[in-house]
Structure 1
């Protein structure tokens, strides 16, 4: 494998604490940030955990906003911002997955307050400066250093209650971050190492997590993988997979993690032959010598997740809208993104058929 002799790498300014019971020092971590009044943000399902976190904050806690939703609707973000202003918040503790972290970022984007993220899924959003807001079925995304959490507390124990199906979908979502980082235009050897190791960690832990969800060793390995995959995404540029999933999720309001889990093998099949180094890294991580995309698809078939977009609510008549959204703004991708190619990809993903790997190559092959 040839070495990438020219590259750039910027370390993101954030801290990570990883381990069982890292939440025991939460109040001191909040104090270190200079935060006097922190709100806790979560989904309705995480209310009980949020209440325990608020209790740990003591007199630094300023209340709970428990209306986080997937894709961060603008009206919910507006309500959360007003809640933060009304409570005089100068900090935000987010607990949960991508929905909660995304809402915390929406608050930070406009209120400029620090975030402490406490992930309970493998979403990876906590490791990125990427924000997203959905208005009238259109999801807008951007990047800003102001939304990057100042501190992430990873406690594997918090993930043991995540159901097997959600664990599997969340993990495949995280692996998508790493796959795209491997063929990103701003990839680097450092990020590629992290991405490959993140995929490897999930490949080793995922079926074990599904079989034995409360096993802390398996959960620890999976959460380690989530950290690496999220960090890989945070340091690189998103390509076809994420643009396509944002179009599907924002336009059709389909579940985020499941959408990513279903689409991943097909987006990689589209790009695989135009990104040989990325293909090789995924093969090493999965310990296969055949198509990386097909290997991911075969892994997904072993998991208790939906395997076709039609199973989560997409219809064949939706393809036109998704293609239109995905083609709207140009973005870097190892293979040229065409309407014909997107339609073929989506038709395969719609019914969940075994992905067909294209043999096309581009001059930008990595």
Structure 2
């Protein structure tokens, strides 16, 4: 059974009250997610002398990304007058945690709320933590909603509201590490399922809500901060950007971000992919695969992951398996087979398990590492393709109830 936590008692230790997020119309800019040059400019704007900028930037960088503080008052080696000036001008607040759910398998899902920033009202996104033996993977979002309307994806049924900014993308990592006790001197919540030893967040995947390459500049900036060796220090090989196929930005992302690449493939023929992943109409398979072959740093040691959701009687035949092997020939790749995760109103069913195993055996024998990604967090709608903000679910549920009531009234007439 899924567990929804009383957030005030979620950990086995007292937690300070989180900083209050600024209200619309009174929002202070965030220092989180800035590069060092921009952080220096922010310090200069509150009167820090030029000769001190480099030292002060290093101090703030350490407090933000090594110590993980969310309040200027905790920066012990920063002068009180400067802490006050920073507090008055800027924020380093975490996203508001609206809800935290824990699956029976240890997967955690957070509903985070951010200020409107042009959206007219506060916005919400979902972030998921998946604990596995030897690693902990954080699946983060890059947009509020999505424009791609992939027909098997629950997130695609939510309209795009706005892009997330660098502080909001990095903020998901900081908030998750705080909630997990993955910061110095922090305690992991009692009973949490986490990797044994070492860091609890070892991998980050941009596979949450939104298409990362449609928010390119903000994602690039956030990943530069996340991978900085003097801060969060996530290896670029342990950061994976998943795209549905924004072809013009794929090679550019490899050159400028240097992260690992995953492709939401899901079909081996253009006519079917046009239906499942409509961006294929703009960037068909040939163009997509050509961009993959040109991805910088591609080798047998650094392969592209091709994600393939298994849909019963849609894309799961042995003919599909053979064509998948054929079209990927020459690309250092691994294939993640994803059993379809159902959601209310979806038109698809998950392939039979025997068929998934036959499909996997064929592509494995062809030389591709093809693990079957065991569904995680299904009971809390945290699995691949299931993310959608709770407010959107509630609105959908309300619309469904209203339509049901109207249908009942018509039937009674």
TM-score (norm 2): 0.30
- Higher gyration radius (CA): 2
TM-score (norm 1): 0.33
More strand by share: 2
